[in-house]
Amino acid sequence: MAKNSDNEKAITIYDIAKEAGVSPSTVSRVLTNSVNVRPEKRERIEALIEKYNFRPNAMAKGLSDTRSRVLGVLMADIRNPFYSAVYVACENAALARGYRVILSCTLGETEREIEQLDIMKQQRVESIIQIGGRVDAVITDSSYIKKAKEISAQLPIITSGKIDEVSCYRVVIDANEAIRLLTEHLIGLGHERIALVGGRLDVISTYEKYMTYCRILKEHGIPINKRYVYEGRYDYDAGYSGVQELFAMKEKPTAIIAINDFCAAGVIRKLIEDGYRVPEDVSVVSYDNTYITNLIFPKLTSIDYDYETFGKMLADTAIDVANGMSVPTFRTVTPRLVIRESSAARK
Amino acid sequence: MAKNSDNEKAITIYDIAKEAGVSPSTVSRVLTNSVNVRPEKRERIEALIEKYNFRPNAMAKGLSDTRSRVLGVLMADIRNPFYSAVYVACENAALARGYRVILSCTLGETEREIEQLDIMKQQRVESIIQIGGRVDAVITDSSYIKKAKEISAQLPIITSGKIDEVSCYRVVIDANEAIRLLTEHLIGLGHERIALVGGRLDVISTYEKYMTYCRILKEHGIPINKRYVYEGRYDYDAGYSGVQELFAMKEKPTAIIAINDFCAAGVIRKLIEDGYRVPEDVSVVSYDNTYITNLIFPKLTSIDYDYETFGKMLADTAIDVANGMSVPTFRTVTPRLVIRESSAARK
DNA sequence: GTGAAAGCGCTAACAA
DNA sequence: TTGTTAGCGCTTTCAC
């Protein structure tokens, strides 16, 4: 049966050293591969390590070299495919550079974000990557600012959003470019009555999208109808109710930009329930290009961010800063339009 | 600007002690709340902790008390909603008991599983929860067995699968009950030509489902047609190609049990492309009850596992075992049928 | 109730 | 190339 962790004293470099007839430092040397060790000793030590399956205690190591080689990742909700895609990319990129990551999901609770910031500090992570949550807010919560200020004075924070009054490294998705791609795609297909569904204007990226949307319509001489903007959450229900409201109007939209793929699924569902065809009657497009785009019918036209690159940028920034390299404080991720079945020329 | 971690020496209990005019042990005492400390001293110390935002170094703590209060979670792929749901439930349950979890995604690579097992050991996690990957295989990979044996000799492994030759704590989903619910649901709706789509028979749970499926059909006097079983991966494509193959037969199935919600999405897509209606012509049901069930059209009838409970069982088992409590080595999670729109009476 | 001192397991000068 | 010696920052006896 599996044993309790305290059943048998874990083996240490001292045990290995004694049995190999060398000093602990020599064992440490073969472990870290720092300096040369006489081959015969090295072999003897390695054999012992193998024999006992010895693995150095990461805590002791972290304590003594004061470099943890750990990155903290704070995310809103790993169950959301956007976040999980970013997370996996971060983990891969970190692993490739000899770093581990510790994850924490804050589930939208500011308290939990603040608490986890502390825990990560206790863990002595070398930097913190925060995606989603308070950092997305147009106006950062003040209790959060307080904690973030304190933390950022001691270790770098990398975020895809921003934190008021706190200087941090930002790796952000170009929201303006994203909405531009979508809007111009639809305009190019002949649409003019383009609605925005889901998302709240107190979230930076959503707000930016809204502003750019207005600008682009104006550039194309298309009148802006504020009623075509339906604020809501970032989920299926928002999409569903959005359509409910928008299609109660006389001048119905012919195209909808949903705030993410979940929302788009709700939009499409409600449209189909109401007898509209997508994309024949209404075009629907969205952001994030998660696997949801391929699961639903019709397959969604969506904005992709190249998650591998995004995650790598985050992890690389985090690691580089921790290593004292000079790193741009603002980097941007360029979105890309992926056209599938849900958008078509206006009838 | 955010500073490098080494810019300023982190504060320690010694700093606090000196400024408070007490000994480090006293500071430690207020930190751990172990023994009584004279109120005035306690207050003075707490004020300083607050003033400097002091947080004890988790490594040093872990080193000295030899209890890390950390659980290791090894998962196949957090991007899969099944795993992310379990993960979040585990994290919540662990947090509630004062534990943290460290996650690692192995992305189906056995090498990575083995490597991560080592890393978790280095981190001195108190137990390891492994979900998905080699532990799901009917026959465990031998290099994996070797490592698992070694690890489990030192710390408990909790898994939703099993590991050949290695005794570990198992918290498993009752696959037999799951398929029974689905099969009897369909039979109750008048279906007899029920196909199984997706999943490989060298995966335990899939194999068990297959066996029980046969048994139940037999019990109901329904002939078993081996051609109604389409092996494949656990994804959309498997569902899509499954239908392609099954519906090329003369005796087409009237109901399909997909191995998970992804697979069901592929099944439905192909059916619709081929002009079948779901559920009017063909009923489709699946396992996992992820949010995908609500995203697609029609909404999926699926098997739910109560993720909160599942995750809590895993975390509780892990923690209890680590604390030397006696814990059942086998616990089972009872599935539940959630009926939505994708299943209906046979025409 | 509190301080001194030892120790957790490792790394990194510093000598030799 | 290798051993000795100090820490790293905390907890925990053991005295007082």
The answer to whether position A340 is within a domain reads no
Which of A32, A53, A54, A59 is best to mutate for the B interface (most B CBs within 10 A)? A59
The answer to whether position A87 is within a domain reads yes
Q: Do A63 and B60 touch (CB under 8 A)?
A: yes
Do B57 and B98 lie in one domain? The reply is no
Do B208 and B294 lie in one domain? The reply is yes
pLDDT score recorded for residue A8? 60
- Output the distance from A92 CA to D3 C1' rounded to whole Å: 39
- Residues within 8 A of B (CB atoms), A 188-217 only: none
- Distance in angstroms (rounded) separating the CA atoms of residues B308 and B288: 13
- Alpha-carbon distance B112 to nearest alpha carbon in chain A (angstroms): 11
pLDDT tops 90 at residue B29: yes
The parent domain of residue A98 ranges over: 70-173+306-335
> Of all protein residues, which has its CA closest to the C1' atom of D1?
A37
The answer to whether position A138 is within a domain reads yes
Residues of A in contact with B292 (CB under 8 A): 292, 295
Do B179 and B159 lie in one domain? The reply is no
Residues of A in contact with B31 (CB under 8 A): none
Taking CA–CA distances from B117, the nearest residue in chain A reads A55
Do A297 and A268 lie in one domain? The reply is yes
Listed residue (A135, A181, A179) closest to A338, CA to CA: A181
pLDDT tops 90 at residue B305: yes
Do B101 and B89 lie in one domain? The reply is yes
The string of pLDDT tens digits covering residues A227-281 is 999 999 999 999 999 999 999 999 999 999 999 999 999 999 999 999 999 999 9
Nearest to B88 among A79, A85, A296 (CB): A79
Q: Do A236 and B55 touch (CB under 8 A)?
A: no
Taking CA–CA distances from B107, the nearest residue in chain A reads A88
The answer to whether position B282 is within a domain reads yes
Nucleotide nearest to B13 (CA to C1'): D9
> Of all protein residues, which has its CA closest to the C1' atom of C2?
B26
Q: How many domains does chain B have?
A: 3
Contacts of A307 (CB under 8 A, 6+ apart): A85, A86, A88, A89
Give the model's confidence band at B7: pLDDT under 50 very low, under 70 low, under 90 confident, else very high.
very low
- Output the distance from B29 CA to D15 C1' rounded to whole Å: 17
Long-range contacts of B58-67 (CB under 8 A, 24+ apart): B58/A59, B58/A122, B58/A123, B58/A124, B59/A58, B59/A59, B59/A60, B59/A62, B59/A63, B59/A68, B59/A123, B59/A124, B60/A59, B60/A63, B62/A59, B62/B124, B63/A57, B63/A59, B63/A60, B63/A63, B66/A6, B66/B124, B67/B126
Residues of A in contact with B321 (CB under 8 A): 2, 4
Do B122 and B208 lie in one domain? The reply is no
pLDDT score recorded for residue B1? 33
- Mean pLDDT, range A311-336, rounded to an integer: 95
Report which listed range, A163-167, A323-327, B81-85, is most confident: B81-85
Do A203 and A264 lie in one domain? The reply is yes
pLDDT tops 60 at residue B3: no
pLDDT score recorded for residue A33? 85
B63 touches chain A (CB under 8 A): yes
The string of pLDDT tens digits covering residues B231-250 is 999 999 999 999 999 999 99
Do A132 and A58 lie in one domain? The reply is no
Nucleotide nearest to B64 (CA to C1'): C8
Give the model's confidence band at B8: pLDDT under 50 very low, under 70 low, under 90 confident, else very high.
low
- Mean pLDDT, range A205-230, rounded to an integer: 97
- Distance in angstroms (rounded) separating the CA atoms of residues A211 and A195: 13
B88 touches chain A (CB under 8 A): yes
The answer to whether position A6 is within a domain reads no
B6 touches chain A (CB under 8 A): yes
* Residue B171 DSSP symbol: E
Percent of chain B topping pLDDT 90: 89
Between the alpha carbon of residue A118 and those of residues A102, A149, A150, the distances in Å are 13, 12, 10
The string of pLDDT tens digits covering residues B74-113 is 999 999 999 999 999 999 999 999 899 999 999 989 999 9
Task: Indicate which CATH number applies to the domain containing B197.
Answer: 3.40.50.2300
- Mean pLDDT, range A297-301, rounded to an integer: 97
A296 touches chain B (CB under 8 A): yes
Which of A51, A53, A70, A272 is best to mutate for the B interface (most B CBs within 10 A)? A53
Give the model's confidence band at A10: pLDDT under 50 very low, under 70 low, under 90 confident, else very high.
confident
Q: Do B57 and A124 touch (CB under 8 A)?
A: yes
Taking CA–CA distances from A1, the nearest residue in chain B reads B167
A2 touches chain B (CB under 8 A): yes
Do A222 and A313 lie in one domain? The reply is no
**CA-angle at B54, arms to B52 and B55, nearest 5°:** 160
Q: What is the mean pLDDT of chain A?
A: 93
Rg (CA), chain A: 26
- What is the CB-side half-sphere exposure of residue A63 using CA atoms within 13 A? 16
Do A23 and A166 lie in one domain? The reply is no
The string of pLDDT tens digits covering residues A112-158 is 999 999 999 999 999 999 999 999 999 999 999 999 999 998 899 99
The answer to whether position B26 is within a domain reads yes
Percent of chain A topping pLDDT 90: 88
The answer to whether position A3 is within a domain reads no
pLDDT score recorded for residue B34? 81
Which helix (H) or strand (E) segment is A18 a member of? helix A13-20
Nearest to A297 among B119, B126, B272 (CB): B272
pLDDT score recorded for residue B67? 80
- Distance in angstroms (rounded) separating the CA atoms of residues A245 and A228: 10
Do B23 and B40 lie in one domain? The reply is yes
B272 touches chain A (CB under 8 A): yes
Task: Indicate which CATH number applies to the domain containing A57.
Answer: 1.10.260.40
The number of helices, as runs of H, and strands, as runs of E, in chain B is: 13, 12
Nucleotide nearest to A122 (CA to C1'): D9
- Mean pLDDT, range A202-208, rounded to an integer: 96
Percent of chain B topping pLDDT 70: 98
pLDDT score recorded for residue A274? 97
- Distance in angstroms (rounded) separating the CA atoms of residues B53 and B48: 8
The string of pLDDT tens digits covering residues B169-206 is 999 999 999 999 999 999 999 999 999 999 999 999 99
- Residues within 8 A of B (CB atoms), A 225-244 only: 236
Do A165 and A198 lie in one domain? The reply is no
The answer to whether position B186 is within a domain reads yes
